[in-house]
Chain A
């Protein structure tokens, strides 16, 4: 069998097996085992020895230590109800505007995103808290579902972010170190957040029906109260942001160390808000262990897949096709982005990252794209995958906790404009790459 045929077969087999509903990590490993054996003439101990060797390499990967730490931090933070206080404050402050409550959700989610590295916690918290509130205030179901789902995904883009940790751990290169990736993601994350705000503001200004202001009698707080509420509730998350991102950007701590400091900070916040007890710690440990195992299993399975794929020459096949076309590098880039976007409709972000990045990165380097910029474009694309149907995890998290009035149809309809915003943001980052590269230059001088 030629490498070309094998390459195509391997991807087709992967896609078909994924649909069987078995855990993705195992499916990746199994497809890798099958094709690895076909490629090496059924030398079982050769291939599986290579896999064992790779599993050990992942066991020793210092960068990835940040993953359980950031997950634990999010678990503790989630249980200390930091976002509730924030939401209550912004309810009073922004509630009077058309679409104000929706904007409050976006602001809270953005701040929350800067303290947590994952998506689930933010969408679940907002779905439980803001979902009923928005509904009661007469917000359009589609719009409110879209707001909660999309702003919740910022958690995995705005640093800290386990997606960026995985990316850094995967490439192991200086240009795409976790520190650089974190610095690079700040402005694009804020850009997206502002675009959501702008969209909600304009949309509700034009048709107040879908996002009405809250009547004055429900916003009883005085200006002084509003200020003190806001201050009081913003201090804890900002303290945490300073602890984590501050120490990384000032170069005091590595991302892994900052994550551990963040855990201590989150425990401290939970303690001061009287939410800390042994069962909270136990619950957090348990869900941290399970979520970490899920991500690391994907890391292992995805690694096997890309090892076999690259080893049998599949990377060269893809590179020959993409680089063989006599077109502008940006066409090749857009094809790669389209592949990531398409896969994101069906597959989990981590699996895509682990399968695609090792294949696409050398091509992007061949075309002289800035590795940091390329990484960030892939990551924003993958953040979008949380929103894109049929399998958008953010949508599922939301549906899981939202009031029963929300149908899946509301959620799917609501998300469309926000996916468009994601695409517009990606386009503007092609035109203004400085949005990505500016901060890493300021903090790390590259």
Chain B
């Protein structure tokens, strides 16, 4: 049976897994810059910005992954004292009231920002002047996956509520 929440879970698990390796090239680029500067007296014009882009993608891509594994810190002491059913209802409520509207609207507007960047053919104001639009787009994708993960949690909670009926 096709279940949207399982598809989202599956995708975010894979995507988050591979994206978490981004920390390795991040280390590589920073160390490379230090070596070039001290070893060869030749600081690069690109390492600085590439470093920032890798860091930005690294955490944007992991937002959904962390949400799937409940790593985002929450004050769940009251929630955890509730019985299973009211707890699920509370989770559904907070998801509907807090998560979906806030993250949904945010994701949409990060998307709008990315579209604007494409329209302006935006480049950085540096000497290397890399294109900005791919990064704004990728950041929007990271937030979209985060939003979808919240949706998956909602669907799962609703299903488990139905099952317990």
A and B touch in the complex (CB under 8 A): yes
Using a CB–CB cutoff of 8 Å, the interface residues on chain A facing chain B are 17-27, 29-30, 33, 44-45, 48-49, 51-53, 55-56, 59-62, 64-65, 68-69, 72, 252-253, 256-257, 259-261, 263-264, 281-282, 285-286, 288-294, 296-298, 346-348, 351, 390-391
Tell me whether B119 is interfacial, beta carbon within 8 Å.
no
Q: Which residues of A are found within 8 Å of B27, using beta-carbon distances?
A: 69, 72, 260, 263-264
Pick the contact of B113 from A52, A260, A286 — CB < 8 Å?
A52
Give the B interface residue count (CB, 8 A). 63
Pick the contact of A296 from B21, B59, B74 — CB < 8 Å?
B59
> Given A289-B58, A297-B72, is A21 in contact with B105 using a C-beta cutoff of 8 Å?
no
Pick the contact of B105 from A44, A65, A261, A290 — CB < 8 Å?
A44
Tell me whether B162 is interfacial, beta carbon within 8 Å.
no
Secondary structure class of chain A's binding surface, majority of residues = helix
Encoded as 1 (CB less than 8 Å from any A CB) or 0, chain B from 70 to 94 comes to 0111111111100000000011011
Instruction: Tell whether, in the assembled complex, residue A60 and residue B52 are in contact, meaning their CB atoms are under 8 Å apart.
Output: yes
Instruction: Tell whether, in the assembled complex, residue B20 and residue A64 are in contact, meaning their CB atoms are under 8 Å apart.
Output: no
Chain B residue with Cβ nearest A59:
B56
Please, how many angstroms separate the alpha-carbon atoms of A312 and B150 in the complex? 30
Most buried by A among B30, B60, B71, B78: B30
Secondary structure class of chain B's binding surface, majority of residues = helix
Tell me whether B161 is interfacial, beta carbon within 8 Å.
no
Instruction: Tell whether, in the assembled complex, residue B33 and residue A257 are in contact, meaning their CB atoms are under 8 Å apart.
Output: yes
Instruction: Tell whether, in the assembled complex, residue B78 and residue A19 are in contact, meaning their CB atoms are under 8 Å apart.
Output: yes
Using a CB–CB cutoff of 8 Å, the interface residues on chain B facing chain A are 16-17, 19-24, 26-27, 30-31, 33-34, 38, 48, 51-52, 55-56, 58-63, 65-67, 69, 71-80, 90-91, 93-95, 97-99, 101-103, 105-106, 108-110, 112-113, 135-136, 139, 143, 150
10 closest A-B pairs by CB: A21-B79, A289-B20, A260-B30, A23-B72, A293-B62, A59-B56, A48-B109, A30-B102, A293-B66, A289-B62
A-B contacts, CB under 8 A, total = 187
Instruction: Tell whether, in the assembled complex, residue B33 and residue A68 are in contact, meaning their CB atoms are under 8 Å apart.
Output: no
Q: Which residues of A are found within 8 Å of B61, using beta-carbon distances?
A: 289
Most buried by B among A30, A53, A289: A289
Pick the contact of B67 from A23, A45, A390 — CB < 8 Å?
A23
Instruction: Tell whether, in the assembled complex, residue A289 and residue B66 are in contact, meaning their CB atoms are under 8 Å apart.
Output: yes
> Given A261-B31, A290-B65, is A52 in contact with B71 using a C-beta cutoff of 8 Å?
no
Instruction: Tell whether, in the assembled complex, residue B109 and residue A51 are in contact, meaning their CB atoms are under 8 Å apart.
Output: yes
Instruction: Tell whether, in the assembled complex, residue B78 and residue A56 are in contact, meaning their CB atoms are under 8 Å apart.
Output: no
> Given A21-B94, A53-B113, A59-B135, is A33 in contact with B105 using a C-beta cutoff of 8 Å?
yes
Pick the contact of A289 from B31, B65, B109, B139 — CB < 8 Å?
B65
Instruction: Tell whether, in the assembled complex, residue B90 and residue A20 are in contact, meaning their CB atoms are under 8 Å apart.
Output: yes
Q: Which residues of A are found within 8 Å of B95, using beta-carbon distances?
A: 22
Chain A residue with Cβ nearest B66:
A293
Q: Which residues of A are found within 8 Å of B21, using beta-carbon distances?
A: 282, 285
